[in-house]
């Protein structure tokens, strides 16, 4: 149950911050947080990460529905395992996926607002849901690497026991 609470918290924080930006800022308005490096910017995205696949709302709705079902199934499968990194990671991805999904379903676009400038380069504007998905995927990769390492150590200790 805790993993669904994590997903719900991500979803609620994401939706709350998007609501604040959408209702308190005009489209394109920017608020400096750290000079020109970090700004809160009212932006809308009809595509995916980095603005790709613009206007493919139904594609995103179908794909996200499949992903959400798969995430719920997989969380239920791994939630009782002793290692908790993977189910937490899946919960973060689930909360983020649902946050962007509801935006696309209701308005056909996602509210983005974190803007970072690195000199003349501007990183694509993103939101809390995007951040949760990226952190979740990073934790999934970490869990995969740790699991590979554990399996290797187990194999080595079994080989040493045979000698």
From the candidates 14, 36, 83, 112, give the one annotated as an active-site residue.
112
Distance, in Å, from the CA atom of 15 to the CA atom of 152, rounded to the nearest integer, reads: 42
In this structure, are residues 91 and 3 in contact, taking their beta carbons and an 8 Å threshold? yes
Distance (Å, whole) CA 75 – CA 87:
6
Active-site position among 14, 130, 143, 159 = 130
Written as tens digits, the pLDDT of the chain (163 aa) is 899 999 999 999 999 999 999 999 999 999 999 999 999 999 998 877 666 666 677 788 888 899 999 999 999 999 988 889 999 999 999 999 999 999 989 998 999 999 999 999 999 999 999 999 999 999 999 999 998 888 888 777 777 767 6
Q: Is 130 a catalytic residue?
A: yes
Whole-prediction pTM value?
A: 0.87
């Amino acid at each position: 149950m805790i993993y669904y609470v994590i997903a719900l918290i991500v979803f609620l924080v994401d939706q709350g911050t998007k609501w604040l930006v959408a209702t308190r800022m005009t489209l394109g308005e920017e608020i400096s947080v750290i000079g020109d490096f970090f700004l809160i910017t009212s932006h809308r995205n009809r595509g995916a990460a980095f603005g790709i696949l613009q206007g493919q709302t139904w594609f995103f709705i179908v794909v996200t529905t499949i992903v959400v079902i798969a995430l719920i199934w997989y969380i239920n499968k791994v939630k009782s395992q002793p290692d908790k990194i993977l189910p937490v990671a899946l919960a973060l991805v689930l909360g983020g996926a649902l946050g962007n999904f509801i935006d696309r379903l209701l308005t056909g676009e996602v509210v983005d607002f974190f803007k970072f400038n690195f000199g003349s380069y501007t990183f694509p504007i993103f939101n809390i849901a995007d951040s949760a998905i990226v952190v979740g995927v990073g934790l999934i990769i970490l869990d995969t690497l740790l699991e590979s390492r554990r399996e290797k150590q187990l194999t080595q200790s079994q080989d040493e026991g045979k000698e």
